[in-house]
Amino acid sequence: MKEWQKNIRKVTPYVPGEQPKKENMIKLNTNENPYPPSPRVEEMRGQIDNLRLYPDPTVGKLVGTLAEYHGLKPEQVFVGVGSDDVLAMAFMTFFNSDKPILFPDITYSFYDVWAELYRIPYEQLPLDDSFRIVKEDYYKANGGVIFPNPNAPTAICEPVSFVEDIVKHNPDSVVIVDEAYIDFGGESCLPLTKQYDNLLVVRTFSKSRSLAGLRIGYCMGSPELIQALNDVKQSFNSYTMNQAAIELGCASVGDEPYFREHIEKIIKTREWFCGEMQKLGFSFPESKANFIFATHETLKAKYIFEEAKKRDIYVRYFDKPRIDNYLRITIGTDEEMKKLLQFLKELVNS
Ligand code: PMP
């Protein structure tokens, strides 16, 4: 090995879901929204100017728009390039203890990747047999706590009282609640940030706002947490948010009726789809997300995943302990879900 090779940071990267580009495929593998973003976003697209200049490094317009939307002050909002960027920045900013940070064993699989990247000690606490977070496990000394609510890939959402209990038992750590999927029926713990200055709530435009391609995420918390994030960001890359993302993000937030209408559509499709899946012999935890986490009474998940792919139907399969007989299926349009059900019916009956 050459000398310089010894100095390369060795990391095992996060593996995102496949992004095939095929006509007529049914893509239910990365929790994207099947509907287009608000027409206001489309209208705004042609009006973006001043690309010659650097964007506002404070992202004031989008921060202000989000603060107003959530009834907060701008000092309580931080914006990034998708919630992945916000989370990566938060790991760097808040998780600097010698004690391990805590998160579930079955959860968003980027958490351990960031912990490894930044060399943060971590401990993954097992979900119980029904895939629920055991909140008492989070009462011990730690260097920080993070979990998604609803959790991914299980889709289980815990009530605010449950989250509050974990926050209450962790006055000495920053607790991050990743609410990437909260708009699909869960109750947000955002109000808790008023009481707990160590709680950070993370959101994304990628799912409920149909803007995965634009890359906007944000988080909300006490001015002290937000200031710390801004200091780290400004020490890393001043211009994370491009002009288009700032303008189009504001346009999306400005169209509340469209937002609500399309979330309701997805919830309605999910509830109908869940009933149909049960009739086919699938079971899954109750979902408050735009996906379900399903297992079949006889057919192996891996087999279903592979057979579906042959027909250009993409769902997500994780070849990992405890969850290797489950499929994470994104809720698409009614038409997409009908085609998936038709395929599953044939497979079950074959
Ligand atoms: N958190 C969770 C739980 C997720 O599932 C995802 C989607 N991969 C993200 C954060 C990141 O989403 P984005 O960077 O698109 O905001």
Instruction: Kindly tell me if the per-residue pLDDT of 306 is higher than 90.
Output: yes
How confident is the model at residue 64, as a pLDDT? 98
CA of residue 202 to ligand 1 center, whole Å: 10
For residues 160 and 192, the answer to whether their CB atoms sit within 8 Å is yes
Which contiguous run of DSSP H or E holds residue 55? Answer: none
Q: Up-side HSE of residue 329: CA atoms within 13 Å toward CB?
A: 32
CA of residue 91 to ligand 1 center, whole Å: 15
How confident is the model at residue 42, as a pLDDT? 95
Extended strands (E) in 133-260: 144-148, 175-178, 199-204, 217-220
Give Cβ neighbours of residue 312 (< 8 Å, ≥ 6 apart): 20, 22, 24, 25, 26
Please choose from 184, 206, 291 the residue to mutate so as to test ligand 1's pocket, defined by most ligand atoms within 8 A of CB: 206
Give the pLDDT confidence of 220-262 residue by residue, as tens digits.
Answer: 999 999 999 999 999 999 999 999 999 999 999 999 999 999 9
Instruction: Kindly tell me if the per-residue pLDDT of 264 is higher than 90.
Output: yes
- CA-to-CA distance for 31 and 289, rounded, in angstroms? 9
Give Cβ neighbours of residue 288 (< 8 Å, ≥ 6 apart): 150, 155, 156, 157, 181, 184, 185, 186
Give the pLDDT confidence of 142-181 residue by residue, as tens digits.
Answer: 999 999 999 999 999 999 999 999 999 999 999 999 999 9
Residue 348 in tokens: 């079950």
In one-letter notation, the amino acid at residue 123 is: E
How confident is the model at residue 50, as a pLDDT? 86
Question: What is the mean pLDDT of the segment spanning 206-211?
Answer: 98
Residue 192 has φ and ψ, to the nearest 5°, of -65, -20
Q: Give the lowest-confidence range in 49-53, 212-216, 326-330.
A: 49-53
Check pocket membership of 37 for ligand 1, CB cut-off 6 A.
Answer: no
Instruction: Kindly tell me if the per-residue pLDDT of 195 is higher than 90.
Output: yes
Of 330, 320, 316, nearest in space to 18 by CA: 316
Check pocket membership of 17 for ligand 1, CB cut-off 6 A.
Answer: no
For residues 155 and 291, the answer to whether their CB atoms sit within 8 Å is yes
Check pocket membership of 178 for ligand 1, CB cut-off 6 A.
Answer: yes
CA of residue 180 to ligand 1 center, whole Å: 6
Please choose from 176, 178, 215 the residue to mutate so as to test ligand 1's pocket, defined by most ligand atoms within 8 A of CB: 178
Instruction: Kindly tell me if the per-residue pLDDT of 349 is higher than 90.
Output: yes
In one-letter notation, the amino acid at residue 55 is: P
How confident is the model at residue 297, as a pLDDT? 97
Closest ligand 1 atom, residue 181 Cα: 3
For residues 29 and 17, the answer to whether their CB atoms sit within 8 Å is yes
Question: What is the mean pLDDT of the segment spanning 103-112?
Answer: 98
SS3 81: coil
* CA 149 to each of CA 18, 160, 282, 318: distance values in angstroms, whole numbers, following the listed order: 24, 10, 23, 20
Average per-residue pLDDT in the chain? 97
Q: Is the backbone of residue 119 left (phi > 0), alpha (psi -120 to 50) or beta?
A: left
Closest ligand 1 atom, residue 107 Cα: 3
- CA-to-CA distance for 26 and 164, rounded, in angstroms? 39
Confidence of residue 91 (pLDDT cuts 50, 70, 90): very high
Query: What separation, in Å, do the N-terminal and C-terminal C-alpha atoms of the chain show?
Result: 54
Check pocket membership of 204 for ligand 1, CB cut-off 6 A.
Answer: yes
Closest ligand 1 atom, residue 16 Cα: 8
Question: What is the mean pLDDT of the segment spanning 78-86?
Answer: 98
What are the DSSP calls for 153-172, one per residue?
A: TT-----HHHHHHHHHT-TT
CA of residue 252 to ligand 1 center, whole Å: 18
Check pocket membership of 83 for ligand 1, CB cut-off 6 A.
Answer: yes
How confident is the model at residue 303, as a pLDDT? 98
Confidence of residue 310 (pLDDT cuts 50, 70, 90): very high
- CA-to-CA distance for 156 and 292, rounded, in angstroms? 9
Check pocket membership of 152 for ligand 1, CB cut-off 6 A.
Answer: yes
Check pocket membership of 106 for ligand 1, CB cut-off 6 A.
Answer: no
